[in-house]
Homo-oligomer: A and B are copies of this chain.
């Protein structure tokens, strides 16, 4: 609850347009609906510029359905649902006409992608074929949020000429999302080549001492290149979201 909203409500009270009790109730209650098991945030779009996103893991299909309905009925035009498996996707598709499933990214989308072409240019680079699902989660998230996305996949550092073949795409990027498992070296090399921010995503690809992505995570946090920040293991959504926030900074210059 930021100070501006507070001031507006207080001004209404001062002007006699609102009683104190009503004001207190409104301030406490307004921005969400209470479903018991969840309190979907109906005002996030207003507050943060991006509508509420639903984390699908650990929720039943009917809980997800209930939250999506609350959000769309509350006026949110499009809803993104992350970490949706095939079974939940089938249930949701049956229950919600506007639901579409992107299996390669495990994402559900209610209300479709934005029609207009996305702004700016985000490059999503992935080190290996096995990293593609996480990379797609990042790429589709960024598209959902209104960005123009270019994919460069299987450009890991063991055959570095493959990365150099993407030099044009990298040179035009405003943000790069760099996705890698195993030793997680891709973001360091990319950050040494570009002049824009790199959002690094470690993946759980690997075995043995990769520890489910911990090695890649640690490597990225210790990057000797400047301009790298990191999200959680396999968090393609988080990287796509952060890249979108960054990309929109220059586009909305009056911020």
Contact = CB atoms under 8 A, between A and B. Distances in A.
Interface of A: 1-4, 6-7, 10-11, 13-14, 19-21, 23-24, 27-32, 36-39, 41, 44, 47-50, 53, 55, 57-59, 63, 67, 83, 127-130, 132, 153-162, 164-165, 167-168, 170-171, 174-175, 182-185, 188-189, 191-197, 199, 202, 204-235, 237-239, 241-242, 245-247, 249-253, 255
Contacts of A245: 195-197, 227
The 7 tightest CB contacts between A and B, nearest first, are A208-B233, A58-B130, A185-B185, A229-B229, A250-B250, A158-B225, A10-B20
A248 to B, nearest CB: 9
A153 B231 contact: no
B229 A222 contact: no
A193 B153 contact: no
A57 B39 CA distance: 32
30 contacts: A2-B167, A3-B28, A3-B167, A3-B171, A6-B24, A7-B21, A27-B161, A28-B164, A38-B153, A48-B194, A53-B226, A63-B129, A127-B224, A157-B189, A157-B225, A158-B191, A160-B189, A183-B220, A189-B189, A197-B246, A199-B229, A207-B233, A208-B212, A208-B213, A208-B235, A215-B215, A217-B221, A226-B237, A229-B229, A246-B246
Contacts of A11: 20
A221 B249 contact: no
